[in-house]
Structure 1
Amino acid sequence: MATHVFEEISVSAEEILQCSYSSWSRQVPQENLIPSKVLAIPREFLEYLESESITIPRKVEQATPNSDNEFSDWEEEEEERVDPTKNFPQFHQEIIKGIKELGGVIIPKLNWSAPKDATFMMINNEMKCSDVNDVYILLKLSNHINHDLDAAFEEVKEVPDIKYEMVLKQWININPALEFRIFIRQGRIIGVSQRDLNYYDYLEGLKPTFQELIDQFIESIDVNMEKMIIDVYIPKPYNRVIIIDINPFSRKYDPLLYTWNELLQETPNYEIRLINENNLGRFSHKENSENQVPLEVINASMNTESMIELAQKWSSN
């Protein structure tokens, strides 16, 4: 019996850098982007993200004069806690300003990754942030963000100089049924997969519309990469494609309804693969299920201070 040898997929440092948000977003029409703001990250903020301590800026509670304050002991403890933003006060204000400019609710990410694996710490289990402290909590507790900082170039021999950035994306309510992953190789589409692996009966009838839109979209953008993976969103009334992210063409990313062996075969045409009723049980799952947590974490997520206390206990253990 012949042994199958996996075809190597080489990824260069340049290709990884091209997938950094500010690199590819400048080459894409605004109509294909979610409104966003890119902030250059200072060294002090990187040190904060990489530190083991989990602290966020203190919010001052306003007490009524001459009244008993049940939070007085808590405030004394808070005064002893070091405010992490003292090392990056200007950047802290830039984040606050960016949130306001983008409508008051945003999703944060770094060059390549968003902290979607840390949403268990948020009340609504979503990445949406209306407060700067929400941004800090998500970034500090995300393995995806740690990957950007420590392992973004693990597939290459020489690590280039990296200009880290924080991207604040305006929050939009995305229907996960309408997200797709597009695989590009040698400058052409080789496959498209539904991203949310659950069954939606109305998608099959929209396949021709999706294919026409995706074809037009790929022809219209001027991203200087021969191979890549593009995650997109096609909202109603199905007349435009919005880019969620662009990633390197690499085995480290999930091929979803394809296999990497299929994606590396030469085929004249591509197909849009959707979940159907027959494979519903096989693929239905919770995204980031590896990050599901005990009930006490859910309870703690209802209170910011409880979240920080619990996270500090994890860190000490």
Structure 2
Amino acid sequence: MDIQDVLNCVFSAWYPKFKDITIKSYILPLPKEFLDYLQADGVVLPEQSVAASGKHDEDDIEGEELDVDWDSADSSETKMPSFPEFESLMKKIIKNLGGSVFPKLNWSAPRDATWISFDKTLRCTCPSDVYLLLKSSEFITHDLTQPFLHCKDCANGSNVTVQYELILRKWQNLASGMEFRCFVRNGNLTAICQRNHTEYYEFITKMKEEIVSDIKAFFYHMVAGKFPSKNYVFDVYRRDKGKLLLIDFNPFGAVTDGLLFTWDELEGLRGDGQEDQQRNDQSEGSTSVTSSVETSNTQEPVFRFVEHPEGVQPHPYSSFGIPEDIKDLTSGEDPYKMMDLLNLKIQQMGRQDSCDEEGD
């Protein structure tokens, strides 16, 4: 994976060419002050959003005593940022797209931040929803700070100027079992995987041949030869038989989740008719919860999905809603925190013993 492969996956680089087969979207270049806001510590919503969300009808507050003296607020409070023009544009776009959107930056959507949203989705109906998701996402931080981390030529990343953009896409109620991740190597479709790999969908087993056939037809008729990289990953949504919707493009490499595949396996499927059959045999033996359509001389893509309910895995984003201290304690990554916890427990036990002695 090279820097150019990552740049080819920037949303604004591929959307104009594929806009007829994907979700309607708007692209907004990010002003510098908004970029600074996204990279600043803490989660402080812009002034306009707070003011809008704080409005109440007189009937709502009738009979309530509002005895808070807002003028006496602590002057050391973090200053609220303000982007009136940018926010006004966002509101117009959200309205044009039917009142609901989901956001992303150049490459990533804040999927790891859904724990903070009201309905645990990426659905946004106002700018403050967008701000909250973007500010709470480690995926977004990666886009802003380390977009070329896994590239072979990452040392040249400092010479690349990235124009960061906010993409607002029309909200779609997509059935999670109908989305698939597809891996392309040397211009050929080599592997397919169910996108939501933490769930079991019985219908996939019954329809696996149809699914593979539809995705192959969609790839070779609508995508192949049009995307500039030879190696890449794309996600599709199968609305119905023969009806597919392009969702996104991603780089072919460790920065993209291989889901039910390892990247060693994916890199072994070279897509040039000379795949390493021994590697394929080994991968079949190591994935008892998945099924596949064998790779053959006709280069049929390997298709993996959760074949049995017993193969269901924990959701990969569930840990993002847990405080870092708790994760460090449970994983043992920070021994000093464990020592502090034990010392605190010993002190509590000592105080309890003292209280018992006094009671006697």
- TM-score category (smaller protein): 0.7 to 0.9
* Counterpart check, 1:230 vs 2:234: yes
After TM superposition, the structure 1 = structure 2 runs for residues 43-62 of structure 1, keeping only pairs within 5 Å, are 43-56=32-45, 57-59=49-51, 60-62=54-56
* Counterpart check, 1:251 vs 2:245: no
Deviation at 1:190, TM superposition (A): 0.7
After TM superposition, the structure 1 = structure 2 runs for residues 273-312 of structure 1, keeping only pairs within 5 Å, are 273-277=304-308, 280-293=309-322
Which is richer in helix?
2
Aligned residue for 1:136? 131
After TM superposition, the structure 1 = structure 2 runs for residues 140-289 of structure 1, keeping only pairs within 5 Å, are 140-155=135-150, 156-159=154-157, 160-197=160-197, 198-219=199-220, 220-221=222-223, 222-235=226-239, 237-265=240-268, 266=275, 268-277=299-308, 280-289=309-318
Aligned residue pair count: 278
- Once the two structures are superposed, what CA deviation does each residue of 1:259-310 show, in whole Å capped at 9, x if it has no partner? 2232223153212212111xx434422240221438xxxxxxxxxxxxxxxx
In the alignment, the residues of structure 2 paired with residue 239 and residue 212 of structure 1 have an alpha-carbon distance, to the nearest angstrom, of 9
- Once the two structures are superposed, what CA deviation does each residue of 1:89-110 show, in whole Å capped at 9, x if it has no partner? 2111111111111110110110
Is the CA contact (8 Å cut-off) linking 2:253 and 2:263 kept in structure 1? no
Question: Which secondary structure does the structure 2 equivalent of 1:257 belong to?
Answer: coil
Query: Closer, same or farther in 2 for the Cα pair 1:42/1:282, shift >3 Å?
Result: same
Higher RCO (Cα < 8 Å, 6 or more apart): 1
Aligned residue for 2:81? 84
In the alignment, the residues of structure 2 paired with residue 174 and residue 41 of structure 1 have an alpha-carbon distance, to the nearest angstrom, of 28
In the alignment, the residues of structure 2 paired with residue 269 and residue 210 of structure 1 have an alpha-carbon distance, to the nearest angstrom, of 13
Deviation at 1:74, TM superposition (A): 7.1
Query: Closer, same or farther in 2 for the Cα pair 1:63/1:173, shift >3 Å?
Result: closer
In the alignment, the residues of structure 2 paired with residue 131 and residue 190 of structure 1 have an alpha-carbon distance, to the nearest angstrom, of 40
**TM-score, normalising length: structure 1:** 0.81
- Once the two structures are superposed, what CA deviation does each residue of 1:40-83 show, in whole Å capped at 9, x if it has no partner? 11111001111113221322424639966544527555997744
Letter matched to residue 264 of structure 2: N
Letter matched to residue 317 of structure 2: N
Question: Which secondary structure does the structure 2 equivalent of 1:146 belong to?
Answer: helix
Deviation at 1:203, TM superposition (A): 1.1
Question: Which secondary structure does the structure 1 equivalent of 2:68 belong to?
Answer: helix
After TM superposition, the structure 1 = structure 2 runs for residues 34-49 of structure 1, keeping only pairs within 5 Å, are 34-49=23-38
In the alignment, the residues of structure 1 paired with residue 65 and residue 8 of structure 2 have an alpha-carbon distance, to the nearest angstrom, of 53
Question: Which secondary structure does the structure 1 equivalent of 2:169 belong to?
Answer: strand
Aligned residue for 1:104? 99
Question: Which secondary structure does the structure 2 equivalent of 1:246 belong to?
Answer: strand
**Range with greater deviation from structure 2 (261-270 or 161-170):** 261-270
Query: Closer, same or farther in 2 for the Cα pair 1:64/1:246, shift >3 Å?
Result: same
Provide structure 1 residue ranges, at least 5 long, that are not aligned to the other structure: 1-10, 295-317
Provide structure 2 residue ranges, at least 5 long, that are not aligned to the other structure: 269-274, 276-294, 324-360
**TM-score, normalising length: structure 2:** 0.72
Deviation at 1:171, TM superposition (A): 0.8
In the alignment, the residues of structure 1 paired with residue 321 and residue 42 of structure 2 have an alpha-carbon distance, to the nearest angstrom, of 22
Query: Closer, same or farther in 2 for the Cα pair 1:282/1:216, shift >3 Å?
Result: closer
From 15, 21, 37, the counterpart of 2:11: 21
Question: Which secondary structure does the structure 1 equivalent of 2:181 belong to?
Answer: strand
For the pair shown, the structure with the greater C-alpha radius of gyration is: 2
Letter matched to residue 25 of structure 1: Y
**Range with greater deviation from structure 2 (265-274 or 71-80):** 71-80
Query: Closer, same or farther in 2 for the Cα pair 1:38/1:29, shift >3 Å?
Result: closer
Letter matched to residue 12 of structure 2: S
Question: Which secondary structure does the structure 1 equivalent of 2:184 belong to?
Answer: strand
Backbone CA RMSD of aligned residues: 2.4
**Range with greater deviation from structure 2 (149-158 or 179-188):** 149-158
